[in-house]
Structure 1
Amino acid sequence: MTCRVHTATRAIAILLALAPMPIGATSSPLAAEPLPLQPVANQRLTDDLGRDDRIPSDRAALLLAIDRSLGYLDTPASVAAYQDYPVPGITRARVRRSLVRFRQLVQQTSSPEELQAAVRREFVFYRAAGSDGQGTVAFTGYYEPVFAASRTRTADYRYPLYRRPADFEQWQSPHPARADLEGRHGTGAGSPLAGSELAWLRDRLEAFLVHVQGSATLRFPDGSSTSITYHGKTDRPYASIGKELVADGHLTRDELSLPAVLAHFRSRPADLSRYLPRNESFVFFQEAPAASPLGTLSVPVTADRSIATDKSLMPPGALALIHTQIPDFDATGALMTPTVSRYVLDQDTGSAIRGAGRVDIFLGRGTAAGARAGEIDWTGELYYLIVSE
């Protein structure tokens, strides 16, 4: 059973409360005691757990996400990632066998109920310890925004996004602050990054939101487009601009929300130069040929089928099952928030995704995905499915 909590979506988390967690950002290693995952006897599982009613409509997307994880599990990086994985019974080889078998079942079964029954017969459910040791997991959502951009600076497109400098590894610590890199007003005036501009946006707040999400699709005036993804960040500390607005009395804690923060800056654009530099952390980007943004496993993430977790605790690329509320639109365009079971692949992480009680769900690209991501604010449960020996 899920319940409403005062956590935040990815965008809200960055703007309001938490540390940045762009796609591709890595989390710091954390102690794995007690074990983050424990096997659960089938008789202790609720009747609806594992009945994924979305599969008939997006079976192909689920199979694609599985294939992407299988591709990752064949890489040397996956061998290294699983070398010292702490949970008994979960190995790279067994995770891979689990994906192969689950893929067969997705293709062979004809209904969500039939797949659920087969999974319960053949798989062991490992439940995440959660934030309280009792399995309570906080769920948030993230997406890839789509913004108008230009390859060159113009009178309309004045706010740059930057490539990672070639000499970035040689930068002395502490790195320059945000204001030093993009200028006090975000236009790059006097920036040491001059010449590393990847693209320019026409809205400063949109440029900041790309830093928040860690990826974006950019559409150019000639009709062409490209995807950009996270490619590193500075070592400067993060500061929440939402908290700064509350501290200065512009919003109360109860009023704090992403729409409220955006509305403040839309009505008082001069405040961007006052508040955005307070977040000294700065993100670099690279162009990505993939149709979807890349997760930390260097495979594209799949809408509604990829999640981000703390990879110092959770098995990378593995098959997982989430049980929480996930928003979607009905036939009339109204937003619903049903509690669902959803089979997903663990393919991403972020610097604010820490511990066994946090999951971020990738919901796709564009405005509709952003609207859905903005609604995810609940707790639930996270399981990993490992084929029986």
Structure 2
Amino acid sequence: MKSRNNYLSRLLVVVLLFLILQTGCSTVNQPLLLPMKTGLGLSEVSNQSQFPDFRDDYDKELLLLSISSSLEYFKKIKSYPNAFSSTGFTPEKQIETLEFFRDGYIRSKNPRELNEFVSKNFRIFQAIGKRYEGQVHFTGYGTPIYDGSLTPTELFRYPLYGKPADFKKPYFTRREIEERNLLSGNEIAYLKSKLEAYLIHVQGSGQIRLASGKEIYVGYAGNSGHSYTSIGRLLVMDGNIQEEELTLPVLIKYFDRHPDKLDHYLRQNDRYIFFRKVPHAVPHGSIGVPVTSMRSIATDKKVFPPGGLAFAVIGTDRPGGTARSQKKWQVEKSFFVLDQDTGSAIKTPARADVFFGIGDAAMYKAGNLNTYGKLYYLLKK
């Protein structure tokens, strides 16, 4: 028995030594990012040598427009999450940050000047990301435009619903709603494809083109209160799509080829989205301001400051990809964004969703973004 105990003790020491060495190597190569406050998703980068190169790859005017939208938000709000205010991200400081950044951004004549301006004048906070290693999974979203009708026809049979009068959370699941026809009388519009209707659920907004040529706009009005399950993730788990190939165009193609499987997967997502007609073509984010193409992101507002100025570096790695499949994702892009929206699947400090715009081209580009990168937030010194 003593010999057995000695053997087990030696084995335990070997295992612990292995784990220490593994952790030590990981720490040297990639220090863990400690959040500045429990529950928040940001860690201050104190060493300027660890700052990214603040190079902006997208449209200048759109960034200025998005900054104006966040300023509008901060000037209207009466309260701000205390967790952020207590760490310096007060509405007043956010306004100061945005106005000062806007002026310096306009004055900067070239990328070098912009990088120097940001590095010198702002505190930089990195998203702690996955496992506190700074890795953030970026995806894209947009506003689709589909043909539709205000009344059911032989062609347009799949409705979008408004919030019912008896609504309270948690409401019924997607399966219960559909099988028991629980939302009858709350129809807003009808589409020709159940998948199109579902994609508006996922995107949170849509434009519907009527036969008369008129368009109506629908926006997010609420959800059933159940957890969100990604049908793309289910397809990967079942071996129907390879993880590195999972994009919106691939998902659409799969269900075009296997329409009989659509209900099976849709009804595994219990969360149901309700809509309302809105007067504006440009969708509004969760903070109540218009979102801007390539300049607005959706994040989890429990861990990131609503309306804040951020900097994204994306396009360096793809989930589950092999060396061969990674090649097309190696073109790195970096750009300033405003944190103006949320999403059902966008939870934790390891997720961010980039708004690509309205229409088919925007939806195609958004659907193809599925990559890892880093996310930083700025606050004026």
Q: What's the TM-score once normalised by structure 1's chain length?
A: 0.78
Distance 1:213 1:238 in 2: 13
Structure having the higher helix fraction is: 2
Q: 1:305 aligns with which of 295, 317, 332?
A: 295
SS of equivalent to 2:267: helix
Aligned 8 A contact 2:329 2:371 in 1 = no
Q: Residues 270 and 341 of structure 1: is their aligned pair in 2 closer, same or farther, counting only changes over 3 Å?
A: closer
| Residue identity matched to 1:192 | L
| Residue identity matched to 1:52 | D
| Residue identity matched to 2:355 | F
Q: 2:54 aligns with which of 44, 50, 61?
A: 50
| Residue identity matched to 1:75 | K
Q: What's the CA shift for 1:297?
A: 0.2
**Aligned residues with identical type, % of pairs:** 40
Aligned to 1:116: 115
Aligned to 1:156: 155
Structure of higher CA gyration radius: 2
Q: What's the CA shift for 1:146?
A: 1.2
Q: 1:37 aligns with which of 42, 50, 54?
A: 42
Distance 1:119 1:246 in 2: 41
| Residue identity matched to 1:230 | Y
SS of equivalent to 2:64: helix
Aligned 8 A contact 2:149 2:191 in 1 = yes
Q: Deviation string for 1:246-288 (max 9, x for gaps)?
A: 6666556677654444333222323334443333321101122
Q: Deviation string for 1:200-245 (max 9, x for gaps)?
A: 0011111111112111111111111122111111134444434555
Aligned to 2:141: 142
Aligned to 2:366: 373
Question: How many residue pairs align between the two structures?
Answer: 337
Aligned to 2:253: 263
Aligned to 1:348: 341
SS of equivalent to 2:83: coil
Aligned to 2:274: 284
> After the TM superposition, which of the residue ranges 317-326 and 236-245 deviates more from structure 2?
236-245
Q: Structure 1: any 5+ residue segments left out of the alignment? A: 1-30, 184-189, 327-334
Q: Deviation string for 1:332-357 (max 9, x for gaps)?
A: xxx98631221110111123222222
Aligned to 1:63: 64
Q: Structure 2: any 5+ residue segments left out of the alignment? A: 1-35, 317-327
Aligned to 2:213: 223
Distance 2:334 2:364 in 1: 21
| Residue identity matched to 1:132 | R
Q: Residues 67 and 237 of structure 1: is their aligned pair in 2 closer, same or farther, counting only changes over 3 Å?
A: closer
Distance 1:67 1:136 in 2: 29
Distance 2:255 2:40 in 1: 44
1:182 aligns with 2:181: no
Distance 1:270 1:90 in 2: 50
Q: Deviation string for 1:36-90 (max 9, x for gaps)?
A: 22222353235x6111132xxx2221111111101111223xx422333276333
1:201 aligns with 2:197: no
Aligned to 1:165: 164
SS of equivalent to 2:95: helix
Distance 2:373 2:314 in 1: 5
Q: Residues 246 and 311 of structure 1: is their aligned pair in 2 closer, same or farther, counting only changes over 3 Å?
A: closer
RMSD of the alignment, in Å?
Answer: 2.8
Distance 1:232 1:128 in 2: 28
Aligned to 1:360: 353
Distance 2:243 2:120 in 1: 47
Aligned to 1:20: none
> After the TM superposition, which of the residue ranges 255-264 and 303-312 deviates more from structure 2?
255-264
Q: Residues 244 and 355 of structure 1: is their aligned pair in 2 closer, same or farther, counting only changes over 3 Å?
A: closer
> After the TM superposition, which of the residue ranges 132-141 and 251-260 deviates more from structure 2?
251-260
Q: What's the CA shift for 1:147?
A: 0.7
- Structure with more relative contact order (C-alpha pairs < 8 Å, separation 6 or more): 1
Q: Residues 291 and 270 of structure 1: is their aligned pair in 2 closer, same or farther, counting only changes over 3 Å?
A: same
Aligned to 1:384: 377
Q: Residues 255 and 374 of structure 1: is their aligned pair in 2 closer, same or farther, counting only changes over 3 Å?
A: closer
